[in-house]
Chains A and B, each alone.
Chain A
Amino acid sequence: MTPTRSGVAIALALGVSLPSMVAAQERSDFNFAVDNLWPNMDPVIGISTTGGRVHSNVFETLIQRNYFEDPDGNTLIPGLATDWERTSETVWTLTIREGVEFHNGDPMTAHDVAFSLSAERLWGEDPIAPRGASFAAGLVRVEAIDDYTVELETEFPDASFIARLTTPIGFVLPRDYYEEVGTEEFGQNPIGTGQYQVVEFDPSTRLVAEAYDNYWGSDPLFDSITWSVVSEYSTRYAGLVSGEFDMIVSIPVDQFDVVEQTDDIDLLVGQVGNYPMFAFNTLDIDGMDDNPIMDADLRKAMVMAIDMDGIARALWDDLTYTPTPFNFPEYGDYHDPDREATYGYDPERAAEYLEQSGYDGETLRWHVVRGFFPNYETAAEFMVEEWAEMGIDVEIRIMDNFALAYERPFHLLNMSMSSEFTGDPYRPLWLDWGPGSNRVEASHRTWVPTEDFLEAGQRFARAQEFEDRYAAYRELLAAWEDVTPALYLWRNVQSFAMRDGISFDPGSTQVTVFDDRYVTLHD
């Protein structure tokens, strides 16, 4: 398509540059079929895998992780903050990008940043978005110094705090609009600074976002993006084959071959920083006075009895693997590919530990939520057989939802842990297992951290230099393994199928961003 002569004349008269007009005219619509959409698009209230597929196209974080050049995203790059500097031991000073506007035309300033990170919204008493509290832990002051400068003060010197601004709390929301419409309305009609503005949102059918022409950065690739909710996989696949959708998500493992063999369709399978696991219930609360799994020797015997990596590779056809505890590739210098687990697969040691435990053949209940994690139930069946051979009796109880799974008595409880956070083990090891975490506080809590764990954790959180932090991390890990309160099954796998002409690679994140850094269009 080319611009008409009169169109060119009008464009020239209005001072519109020809290339941008051509680009705008040639842009196509992009239809992405997803299995679900989170019902609230506030990027903190709606923290979720399904929300993350939308958020970064509508909102932008102050700082971003560079997944397009480094699949593990270990480099930080400017987003809505152009610069950040540690101006004292506990204060970070951010320079906010000028010339950015929200989709309602309001300019984005430091006051919006201060509101987005405020105590009122995230970390104070009774905040608007309480899910942000753990992400903002340690913040004690957020202040707009002028229109384009913000100061963040932390409780104690925290060298890595700045990386938290790459997480959902780093998204900048429009203060005036948010306060005018309120939390629920904002969740339905969100406004950000991103390349696309939301024009239609019905959580059970679709979200449509159109290119925002006054976007401060590079031109959007598409005229509009539609996230169509199609919960049935076969329907998503049919829509892709027939050209209705440009891309679909969540292809079942047993369908990979079919998709690969389909003409004009490309399959993308990649590992992401998310780990299905089970927690041992190490507590005697809620009537579980004689809980045999309180015995650490039994837990270690169970972990060592399982060839987890073998099961993971077999079930996933070598697409993923089982990392040793908290030794994840997305953690840059913390990752050691040669490190072995203290209690890795070793049937002989497992038998010894079982012998010295007080286990007396009691049936152990494993609560598993139906169909929540691909391959989980199958893996569980393998594991139950391996335990049975050793004389450990585990019964899988399939539950319809998490609320039912959380009801005791249970000895093992399924869940998954995300490690996408600050590019180090801070979240998965300390935030997710430390004081204040769900593992310790929630109704379905499963352990009490030991003195060693708490002491190492405090040192880890406060360490300034990498060497000190790394040493504390290893001690924290040793304290965790000494208890062995869980087993991580494998690094999760995500899959996309897309039509010819579109190349997309998100790296190891579950967040999808459809800009020219992650998407390439070709004929």
Chain B
Amino acid sequence: MARIVTLKILRAVITLLIAVSLVFFFIRLSGDPALALAPPDAPPAVVEEYRTRLGLDQPLLTQYLRYIGGMFQGDFGYSIHTGRSAQSLFFERLPATLLLGLTALAIALGLGVTLGLIAALRHNSIIDRFVMGFSVFAFAMPNFFFGLLVVLSGALFFGVFFGGSGATRSFGQLLAPAATLGLAAMGSFARFTRSSLLETLNKPFMTALAVRGVPPRRRLLRHAIPNAAIPVVTMLGLSLGGIVAGAVVTEQVFSWPGIGRLLIRSVETRDIAVLQFIVLMVALTMTVTNLLVDLVYVILDPRMRGGQNG
């Protein structure tokens, strides 16, 4: 058991290192960062100054080793534009993105599961078809397009601005971007819940419970739903990636001051240290989530302890 856990942690660390290295080298492959950083008409002296300040005049390997070395000492570099540490800029934005992401996840989970349950219980009815039609729409709708529709409709038809400062000045200013961000995940939750519940309801043990005279309400709440929930919980972990990726676009459309906007800004302005730190943190989030899911599987399922899937 300890060996499996150690191996999985080691694998997570290697994944992170690869992600960080890829970002480090790709930034430097997509054009000279010093040139990209400086304004288009900046004289050579300014470009040279940026190059020296960023250490870009050093050999690539030296830059890389210095970056990795600094990383292990908690030094992730400084924003070339503001002089502030990459961490401070990231953690300053984190609450706004967490608020948006968690609200989106709550909306997706709450509405998605409810709709899925209703569809399963009204199997093959008009409601079922409507819910499934809606879930396909939700899953297929690009969130940048849907976001623009929401923002424009709010302004033109209701005189309300759904874009915003990120401070929850009005419920709509949080709800609109969160619903947009959670839309795709909501569609997935509805479909998974429906199919999982239908499958559970058709299992022999449900028939056995009915024969034993267990009331329908108890059969559903105590037996069917808990069993059907297992794949939905797995989905929850998987949807995290979609939420993180979607936040970049949603924050841009709604002008939400979170990490997604900071990421786009860092790419645009080639703020290397900030960009590298954001990618590292996103990679860390995904890796840790996967690691936890793996570990939970190991704990729950004795068959995983053999190491053949590790």
With A231-B252, A243-B161, A443-B35 given, is the CB distance from A39 to B155 under 8 Å? no
Q: Which of B62-70, B111-119, B253-261, B301-309 contacts A (4 or more CB under 8 A)?
A: B253-261
Q: Are A232 and B148 in contact (CB under 8 A)?
A: yes
Q: Are A402 and B155 in contact (CB under 8 A)?
A: no
Interchain CA distance A442-B38 in the complex, whole Å? 12
- Per-position contact with B for A236-247: 1 when CB-CB < 8 Å, else 0? 011101111000
Q: Point out which of B30, B163, B269 has the most chain A C-beta atoms below 10 A from its C-beta.
A: B163
On chain B, the number of residues with a Cβ less than 8 Å from chain A's Cβ atoms is: 47
Tell me whether B77 is interfacial, beta carbon within 8 Å: no
Please indicate the chain B residues that have their CB under 8 angstroms from the CB of A202 in the complex.
Answer: 257
Q: Are B43 and A133 in contact (CB under 8 A)?
A: yes
Q: List 11 A-B contacts (CB under 8 A).
A: A39-B271, A134-B43, A206-B165, A235-B148, A237-B152, A238-B151, A239-B163, A242-B161, A243-B161, A401-B30, A401-B36
Interchain CA distance A184-B49 in the complex, whole Å? 14
Q: Are B82 and A188 in contact (CB under 8 A)?
A: yes
- Per-position contact with B for A193-226: 1 when CB-CB < 8 Å, else 0? 0000000001111100000000000000000000
Interface residues of A (CB under 8 A from B): 39-40, 47-48, 130-131, 133-134, 184-185, 187-188, 202-206, 228-232, 234-235, 237-239, 241-244, 400-404, 406-407, 415-418, 438, 441-443
Task: Give the Cβ gap from A311 to chain B, nearest Cβ, in Å.
Answer: 23
Please indicate the chain B residues that have their CB under 8 angstroms from the CB of A406 in the complex.
Answer: 31-32, 35
Pick the contact of A188 from B47, B83, B254, B271 — CB < 8 Å?
A: B83
Pick the contact of A403 from B33, B83, B166, B254 — CB < 8 Å?
A: B33
Further contacts, 19 of them, CB under 8 A, given A238-B151, A407-B31 = A39-B79, A39-B81, A130-B46, A188-B82, A204-B262, A205-B261, A232-B253, A234-B148, A235-B255, A238-B155, A238-B161, A238-B162, A239-B161, A239-B163, A400-B30, A403-B35, A441-B43, A442-B47, A443-B35
With A40-B81, A130-B43, A204-B262 given, is the CB distance from A235 to B163 under 8 Å? yes
**Nearest neighbor of A47 in chain B, beta-carbon distance:** B39
Please indicate the chain A residues that have their CB under 8 angstroms from the CB of B160 in the complex.
Answer: 242
Tell me whether B296 is interfacial, beta carbon within 8 Å: no
Q: Are B255 and A230 in contact (CB under 8 A)?
A: yes
Please indicate the chain B residues that have their CB under 8 angstroms from the CB of A400 in the complex.
Answer: 30-31
Please indicate the chain A residues that have their CB under 8 angstroms from the CB of B32 in the complex.
Answer: 403, 406
Interchain CA distance A400-B253 in the complex, whole Å? 21
- Per-position contact with A for B35-68: 1 when CB-CB < 8 Å, else 0? 1100111111111010000000000000000000
Q: Point out which of B160, B265, B270 has the most chain A C-beta atoms below 10 A from its C-beta.
A: B265
Q: Are B82 and A39 in contact (CB under 8 A)?
A: yes
- Per-position contact with A for B217-251: 1 when CB-CB < 8 Å, else 0? 00000000000000000000000000000000000
Please indicate the chain A residues that have their CB under 8 angstroms from the CB of B162 in the complex.
Answer: 238
